[in-house]
Amino acid sequence: MSIITIVGAGVMASALSVPLRDNGHEVRIVGTPLDREIIESCRRDGYHITLKRKLPDGIKYFQTEYLKEAIHGAELLLGGVSSFGVEWFLRTVLPVIPDDLPVLSVTKGMFDTPEGGLISYPEYYEQETGGRGLSLNAIGGPCTSYELADRHHSSVFFCGRDMDILRRLKSIFETEYYHISLSTDVRGIECAVALKNAYALAVSLAVGLAERECGEGCVLHYNPQAALFQQSLREMRRLLEIAGCSDENIIPGIGDLYVTIFGGRTRRLGTLLGHGLSFEKAMEALNGVTLESVAITGRTAAAIRTRIEKGLSAASDFPLLLHIDDIIRNGVPVDIPWKSFEVELGP
């Protein structure tokens, strides 16, 4: 049995307590400053108010001020913050952990660089922590927290620099329903599964456009969704190439794109935009929730616009990404550039 400390009581990190407890590990969940209500609810009766499920028995819950106590004796730290908590995790959590404590992050996202590149969060942590040599690993792939908590079959990638450490992490988490592949291409896995957030928003525009035409609850139009899905994959492959990643990483990216299109706040935002709402009005309808898709779209588009200015990329290679960014950043109405998706292949 291992002691696993989870920092961040979000839905995915909390759902991962299910396979961990099924495997008999001691689990400690530490809330961020934003998780106080979640931790208090779980302390009372184990019910997670955001995941809307009762977590397994035997978990120990800590408020953020007891972080050091919760880390003491742990054999793995699971980072469960959202992309908006990356700086907090970097400044508050990483400085207080032992150098030999492996970190496994569920945070999906990336940063754009001044040169127009894209890097993963583990790479960012490595840069900012200097020469500490922390083992910084991450989880990516098509897995929703709700289905994992319900023990539905799920397939993900664990990625990191050291395959031996990854194998050890796999042995801690894997169950008959939680299936884990391993990769040392950290940037490839993390960028692929981050990009799906931006493009899930794009595909969801077609849902809203169909409902605008026929009314909510109508039979959806699948040809437009498929066309946007196809264009999303084309642009995601180009972005992975720009980031210097293996094309093989498009596979978990496709899986994650598929599952994200079918539910959640990103689909809802895309649908509202397709209905004709401005980005501001759509966010009001969503009660101003923060969305990974918005952050990732902005960062990815910023990298591409930098590359366009430097003559390294062409706008014609990323018409869908740049249109989504214009909707979000400049308030333009949805007007999908269908003709720009057409290609000629051949000698």
Amino acid at 342: E
Question: DSSP class of residue 315?
Answer: G
Q: Radius of gyration (Cα) for the chain, nearest Å?
A: 20
138 neighbors 120 (Cβ within 8 angstroms): yes
Cα gap 17→7, rounded to integer Å = 12
Catalytic residues: 196
Residue 315's identity, in one-letter code, is A
Contact 60, 27 (CB under 8 A): yes
Residue type, position 231, single letter: Q
Q: Please, what's the b/e burial string for 266-303 (b: 16 or more CB within 10 A of its CB; e: otherwise)?
A: bbbbbbbbbbebebeebbeeeeeeebbbbbbbbbbbbb
All residues at 6 or more sequence positions from 256 whose CB lies less than 8 Å from its CB, including other chains: 140, 141, 142, 192, 193, 196
